[in-house]
Amino acid sequence: MPVEIRELVIKAYIEGTGEEGTQSSSAMDKEEIISDCMEQISELLKEKLER
């Protein structure tokens, strides 16, 4: 007998200190993530062009 899922609930809890220092560090984390993504994208494009 097949099971059908009609609703999926995902909950996430984010903890933070609420300090201003946290905001600047999160901005740095975002910049680091973006630079890592750009690096991976450029590597994938190089591999694709080499084929």
* DSSP state for residue 29 in the 8-state scheme: H
Dump pLDDT digits (tens) for 1-51: 787 778 878 888 877 766 555 556 677 788 888 889 899 999 888 988 886
pLDDT of residue 25: 66
Angle at Cα 46 formed by Cα 43 and Cα 47, nearest 5°? Answer: 90
Residue 4's pLDDT is what? 78
CA 13 remoteness from chain centre: 16
Q: Report the alpha-carbon distance of residue 51 to residue 46 in Å, rounded.
A: 9
Q: How many CA atoms lie within 13 A of 43 on its CB side?
A: 6
The reported pLDDT for the residue numbered 19 is: 58
User: CA 41, CA 35: separation in Å to the nearest integer?
Assistant: 10
